[in-house]
Structure 1
Amino acid sequence: MRVGYARVSSRHQADSEALDQQIARLERAGATKILYDIESGRNDGRKNFNAIINLAKTGVATEIIVTRLDRLGRNTISIHRTIETFQKLKVKLTILDSPLGDTNSAFGWLTINNIAGLAEFESRLLSERVSHGTAYYRSNLKYFGFALFGYTKDENSKLIPHPENWAIAKELISQFYTNSFGSISRWLAVTHNIKMYPSSLRNWLHNPALRGHTFYKLKSGDVERHYNTHEAIITEADYQDLAKITAHTNKKDPAKFKPHILAGIFKCGTCNAAMTKTKAGKMFQCSQYTKFGKAGCSNGKVIAKSIVKAEVIKVLVDYAEEVLSEGRKRTQEPAIENEVLVTLKHQLQTLESLPSNHAIDLAIIDLKQQIKNHEKHSEVRDFTVEEDFLMLKSFSHADFWESISDTTFKVVCLRFLKVVTFNGARDISVFLNDNSLAYNSLP
């Protein structure tokens, strides 16, 4: 069988008829079966490339036809290995643009080397151009790819508010507090005629660009972070709340079901399973006992939502009074600068005192960027601490707890509590977050 193989590197090339042209030429050359890949030639794991190798090894393919040698790959060693495989299997290789004749001859070997070397050279050259281009993008804080929903790009490829979608994006954020990703997706399609799958909404919410930051993932796997590079749709503190809330969002329609006031953090003290709602949401019971009875958990007791709420409020009020009291004692103390920031500034001073050369200049630029990023990160954290501090001030007012909804109560609990456990009877334990406000962080 005469088997044709075609390849393009990207979907854009496939859509621009480059792939169709290769296939048409292979058909005219007499190929009875044609396989193709849309993938880089530097990748030896291409599905259909390996398929033609298997067809040759099993004796199904007697001739392999390609339009150019670099369709087989962009790596000299890989191309030689493929050709050697075909030669050992006595499978004929036909290259339409470069008839090689006897590939075992010295002239054939030289020709293959030259063409394969040129293919790898072009690939390396393209990789360098892309690398220089991405480095330029990062140095100028440009945004890669399509603009995030709610944003558009200016003439410098930086994110700016979209004239129409910005308000919708703000409205979308408010939906996350009470709705599931599925119901929000339906709401967006019906209300604004915008289609976003639930998975796309989740990725959108967790994109740092939504919080005003520009992050770049490097080839090494590290992430280069730049803070406050553009206007944010959501604050860092609100994002932290929503990240916790949406991790435990009820998949059912929230309009028909009351929210769980301690979603994800209310556990059974016996088996550590989640405490689930029962009795129309007025009581809580161990989910394992609800499913399997005593075979699932020995703690079959129920506890009223009102009792749980009262105990949690008591702990939060006591915590607020303790933190506020300690905070007042420390208002006159000088702020201690972050140790990491001090170290970076010391390193910068040392480098600036040395004689200038190219390597030192690059290191100075890198350190200045690290200091800038660290200062921006500290500003975000300070703002969050200040916001939490103001929230704690309201805890001692009885009308605060009476006025807030169950959804708001859940947000407050997820922000300050790590876990709440029920051990039976009225035995409830409430544990604060490890990263709750530290006294020395208060204003």
Structure 2
Amino acid sequence: MGQIVGYERVSSNEQAINQNALKQQDHRIQEYGVDMVIQDIESGADPDREGFNHLLDLVSQGKVDEIVSTRWDRLTRNELVYLQFKAILKASNVKLTLLDQGEVDLSTAFGELSADMQAMFAVHERRMLKERVQRGCEYRRFNKVAWTRAPWGYGIKNDKYVLDTEPIICILEDRPQNFLELYDEPDTSPLLLSISKSQIAREAVDVFLQTRRTRKVLRYLYLKYGVERKKGTGETGNGQEGDKKRTKGTNLVLSKELLFWSAGGNLKEWLENPVLRGHTAYKKYKKRGSKKDPKDWEMHYDTHPDQRLISDEEFQEIQEILKSNARQIGTPGKTFYLTGLVICERCGHKCVLKRNADYQYYGCRNSTIGCSNRKCIRIEKIDEAIINQLFNRANEIALAPDGLQEEALETSELSILKQQLQELEKILEMNPTHILKKTQYDLQKEIESQSNQANNDNFVQATAMQLIRRPEARKKTFWYTLTLEERDIIYDKLVRKIAILDGEVVSVDLTI
């Protein structure tokens, strides 16, 4: 004999708005009387739900006599999935009971018509909801208002992003000498020297620019604001030994009031959010939920310029650091300031850092699986080749005319776009149609985007040029006295790649 199986589903949005939505379904289905319950927290339009697929597998195996749910839209909001589900129920002769709509009888034409109408209403409701959401999004984009969720350190006020300046935490080491006299002060009192989310957010940016690693930022924040979790035992219930369980201490970092990033990837994504620079981005996600490439976002610039957390110049530096970090390969804890820059001349792959008790050296990562470049090269030898190249380049630039040193030519593609815009504006004066205005807007945005990218490149180039033009750069002793941290920063700006072959440096490719 088969089982009576209950199926419960809420979307992630429903769960976020009403955390009891799933509990309410579960209570009603358990009251009906079922042998087991299957749950999903997914959209009803998604045909690939783990719980729903498991339910269909049980039905196909003949292990289910009856399915109990609250409504058709809990089972599916997709017409194709409905038709497949109905066919499976008819073939397996499984009874379906919907607590809000009654027993579904698929054995008669009228019963099947009734089920079709109920299911189609669920599909129609989803279509209407999708249409309302789409219109709402179009309205928000047209009026350049804040998107539905503010990034960490921000809030939304009057449809604009604003820095969250509400005090949320006080640090013991910063407390005033008369702190005992302030016991009755409200939490928002300026006398308490409280810290807001926007202050912590800015602090995170400063620490990242200094340490250049997302994990180091998280470690710093956890040490400063978090409370270490404590493992121990605590008595529950009647206090008997068997009721003891492991407990954990408070962690402010994971509390609702403070709650910031729990992984380096989350911090990276936050740093790249245009809201922090005073801009708003729309159409960031594809239909299936994955994020688009930033160049495909619909950007609206300076929507809240007075609420910037980071400047454009700082963002360029952040991008360069993140790009440099993305190059790091090898075993955790064994990355180095040269990792990602050293390339095998034979196979073209990045080399990995290797160490023994006395030396550090690089070798081709494919040397044991096909590449014949099996001889490693010590770091000292690579450094010597880089310094020679930088020293020679610094002296070459010092002798070059000033105009050649800082020349920045506009890209040919950008020039063509500007020429097209000029021609289009002439046509618009005679024929200002909606289509031409839309084309003008798209061209302006493309020129703005490419100009920003060109400015980014110029900033990086100028920074590299400033480094190489320093008077001390024309002395080899300057390069040899750099610390590892300084080489990490400077090499990242000046060195594009180092090619090695048979234990020797073949070439050093610079960015300037």
TM over 0.5: yes
Using a 3 Å threshold, how does the CA distance of structure 1 residues 24 and 327 change in structure 2: closer, same or farther? farther
Over residues 83-124 of structure 1, what are the superposed CA-to-partner deviations in whole Å (9 max), with x where a residue is unaligned? 232122111122222236643434334323332222112111
Q: Are 1:318 and 2:398 an aligned pair?
A: no
- Tell me, yes or no, if the aligned pair for 1:348 and 1:367 is still in contact at 8 Å: no
Using a 3 Å threshold, how does the CA distance of structure 1 residues 113 and 369 change in structure 2: closer, same or farther? same
- Tell me, yes or no, if the aligned pair for 2:208 and 2:217 is still in contact at 8 Å: no
Q: Are 1:90 and 2:167 an aligned pair?
A: no
Corresponding position of 2:200: 165
How far does residue 42 in structure 1 lie from its aligned partner after superposition?
A: 0.9
What is the distance in 1 between the residues matched to 2:410 and 2:64? 73
Letter in 2 for 1:248: Q
What is the distance in 2 between the residues matched to 1:279 and 1:104? 76
What is the distance in 2 between the residues matched to 1:303 and 1:113? 73
Using a 3 Å threshold, how does the CA distance of structure 1 residues 249 and 136 change in structure 2: closer, same or farther? farther
Letter in 2 for 1:226: M
Using a 3 Å threshold, how does the CA distance of structure 1 residues 317 and 10 change in structure 2: closer, same or farther? same
1:362 to 435, 438, 449: 438
SS of alignment partner, residue 297 of structure 2: strand
> Structure 1: where are the runs of 5+ without partners?
438-443
1:197 to 263, 275, 278: 263
Using a 3 Å threshold, how does the CA distance of structure 1 residues 99 and 152 change in structure 2: closer, same or farther? closer
- Tell me, yes or no, if the aligned pair for 1:213 and 1:226 is still in contact at 8 Å: yes
Corresponding position of 1:388: 464
How far does residue 12 in structure 1 lie from its aligned partner after superposition?
A: 4.1
What is the distance in 1 between the residues matched to 2:345 and 2:215? 32
Using a 3 Å threshold, how does the CA distance of structure 1 residues 327 and 173 change in structure 2: closer, same or farther? farther
- Tell me, yes or no, if the aligned pair for 1:148 and 1:204 is still in contact at 8 Å: yes
Tell me whether 78-87 or 95-104 shows the greater mean CA deviation. 95-104
2:209 to 161, 166, 174: 174
What is the distance in 2 between the residues matched to 1:108 and 1:332? 79
What is the distance in 2 between the residues matched to 1:62 and 1:364? 63
Length-normalised TM-score, structure 1: 0.79
SS of alignment partner, residue 164 of structure 1: helix
- Tell me, yes or no, if the aligned pair for 1:141 and 1:158 is still in contact at 8 Å: no
Corresponding position of 2:26: 23
Corresponding position of 2:493: 415
Letter in 2 for 1:197: A
Corresponding position of 1:131: 134
Greater RCO, CA 8 A, separation 6+: 1
What is the distance in 2 between the residues matched to 1:296 and 1:367? 50
How far does residue 240 in structure 1 lie from its aligned partner after superposition?
A: 0.8
1:406 to 472, 484, 492: 484
Corresponding position of 2:506: 429
How far does residue 269 in structure 1 lie from its aligned partner after superposition?
A: 5.8
Total equivalences in the alignment? 422
Over residues 256-312 of structure 1, what are the superposed CA-to-partner deviations in whole Å (9 max), with x where a residue is unaligned? x9x83422223566786736465777x4434579x99xx997526x6462x543431
2:286 to 198, 207, 219: 219
Letter in 2 for 1:314: N
How far does residue 164 in structure 1 lie from its aligned partner after superposition?
A: 1.9
Matches within 5 A, 1:365-376: 365-376=441-452
Over residues 350-380 of structure 1, what are the superposed CA-to-partner deviations in whole Å (9 max), with x where a residue is unaligned? 6624634444443333333333333333333
What is the distance in 1 between the residues matched to 2:382 and 2:224? 38
Using a 3 Å threshold, how does the CA distance of structure 1 residues 327 and 207 change in structure 2: closer, same or farther? farther
How far does residue 344 in structure 1 lie from its aligned partner after superposition?
A: 4.8
Length-normalised TM-score, structure 2: 0.69
Corresponding position of 2:193: none
Letter in 2 for 1:26: I
Q: Are 1:309 and 2:383 an aligned pair?
A: yes
- Tell me, yes or no, if the aligned pair for 1:11 and 1:38 is still in contact at 8 Å: no
SS of alignment partner, residue 22 of structure 1: helix
What is the distance in 2 between the residues matched to 1:267 and 1:336? 31
What percentage of aligned pairs have identical amino acids?
23
Letter in 1 for 2:323: A
Corresponding position of 1:440: none
